[in-house]
């Protein structure tokens, strides 16, 4: 315990009047330059005054006074040893919590990093899964269309019509596969490129009545084209098919030049 701490503990004893003359002198000299101890002494003296008013005055005998002083000194010694050794005892505990906090911070940072990486990976997997689902959907549609085409081509009731034209070189050519319940398949080759704002339009010519549109299409860079139409869109029984050049988007009745034509045999 330091001198200041030892003297501070004696302030209450001085205020209670239980210190000997040899101990009072250094304590009073210390209080002259220590405001904290002076304040502590004033508080202790006020408390002693209150005690004096609340109890009858009694002067202890020299023997009792000496025993009291010895008892107080004995009680101060264990407290002094405890304070002296307190920093040594507490330092490892503070170090422990410091390293514990560092450890938790590292663990937390690791968990945040893992969660962030997991989120990124999950987002990537979700994108890939969405792309795969779209691809599977497209493949299923293509497979369904292929099965419908094969069913149409191999059905006994399917009618085959060849469409020709003798006015262009190389000669455009087309074919129609028609079944009253399974629909229509059309493909063509050697079609010339179209001018801007124009479309090819396939016409379904029934046995009676005006031609009906079977769809608008555009050929690829090699002049090839393919089109499929459901049977429900075709009225009556056809007697012929034709292809004309019409304004882009098609018209309700043929108006442009005829490129291909063919009749049922």
pLDDT tens per residue across span 63-122? 666 666 676 666 655 544 544 554 544 444 555 455 555 556 666 766 777 777 787 778
Reported as a pLDDT band with limits 50, 70 and 90, residue 259 is very high
State whether 77 and 166 are in the same domain.
Answer: no
Instruction: Compute the radius of gyration of the chain from its Cα atoms.
Output: 55
pLDDT, average across residues 13-40: 74
Query: Which domain-ending residue is among 46, 67, 90?
Result: 90
241 pLDDT exceeds 70? yes
96 located within any domain: no
- Residue 119's pLDDT is 74
170 located within any domain: yes
242 located within any domain: yes
State whether 168 and 250 are in the same domain.
Answer: yes
Query: Which domain-ending residue is among 90, 114, 136?
Result: 90
- Residue 154's pLDDT is 82
Query: Which domain-ending residue is among 90, 111, 142?
Result: 90
| Percent of the chain surpassing pLDDT 90 | 20
Q: Which residues contact 191 (CB under 8 A, 6 or more apart)?
A: 172, 200, 219, 223, 224, 225, 259
Reported as a pLDDT band with limits 50, 70 and 90, residue 238 is confident
Mean pLDDT, the chain, whole residue set: 75
> What is the domain range of residue 203?
159-263
Q: Which residues of 138-174 are buried (b: 16+ CB within 10 A; e: fewer)?
A: eeeeeeeeeeebeebeeeeebeebebebeeeeeebbb
Tally of domains within the chain: 2
130 located within any domain: no
In DSSP notation, the chain reads: --HHHHHHHHHHHHHHT-S-HHHHHHHHHHHHS-HHHHHHHHHHHHHHHHHHHHS---PPPHHHHHHHHHHHHHHHHHHHHHHHHHHHHHHHHHHHHHHHHHHHHHHHHHHHHHHHHHHHHHHHHHHHHHHHHHHHHHHHHHHHHHHHHHHHHH-TT-EEEEEE-SSSSSPPEEEEEEETTTEEEEEEESPPPPPTTEEEEEEEEESSS--EEEEEE---TTS-EEEEE-GGGS-S-EEEEEEEEEETT--SS--S-EEEEEE--
Reported as a pLDDT band with limits 50, 70 and 90, residue 20 is low
């Amino acid at each position: 315990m330091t001198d200041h701490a030892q003297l501070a503990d004696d302030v209450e004893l001085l205020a209670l009047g239980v210190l000997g003359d040899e101990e009072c002198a250094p304590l009073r000299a210390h209080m002259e330059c220590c405001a904290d101890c002076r304040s502590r002494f004033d508080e202790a003296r006020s408390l002693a005054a209150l005690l004096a008013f609340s109890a009858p005055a009694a002067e202890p005998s020299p023997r009792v006074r000496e025993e009291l002083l010895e008892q107080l000194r004995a009680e101060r010694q264990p407290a002094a040893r405890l304070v002296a050794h307190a920093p040594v005892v507490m330092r490892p505990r503070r170090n422990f919590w410091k390293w514990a906090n560092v450890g938790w911070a590292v663990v937390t940072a690791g968990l945040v990093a893992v969660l962030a990486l997991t989120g990124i990976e999950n987002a990537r997997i979700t994108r890939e899964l969405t792309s795969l689902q779209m691809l599977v959907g497209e493949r299923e549609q293509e497979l369904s269309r292929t099965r419908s085409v094969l069913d149409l081509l191999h059905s006994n009731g399917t009618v085959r019509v060849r469409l020709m034209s003798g006015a262009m070189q190389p000669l455009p050519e087309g074919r129609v596969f028609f079944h009253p319940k399974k629909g229509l398949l059309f493909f063509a080759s050697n079609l010339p490129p179209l001018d801007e704002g124009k479309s090819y339009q396939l016409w379904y010519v029934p046995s009676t009545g005006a031609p009906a549109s079977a769809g608008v299409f555009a050929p690829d860079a090699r002049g090839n084209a393919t089109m499929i139409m459901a049977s429900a869109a075709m009225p009556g029984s056809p007697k012929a098919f034709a292809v004309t050049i019409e304004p882009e988007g098609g018209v309700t009745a043929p108006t442009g030049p005829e490129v291909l034509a063919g009749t049922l045999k």
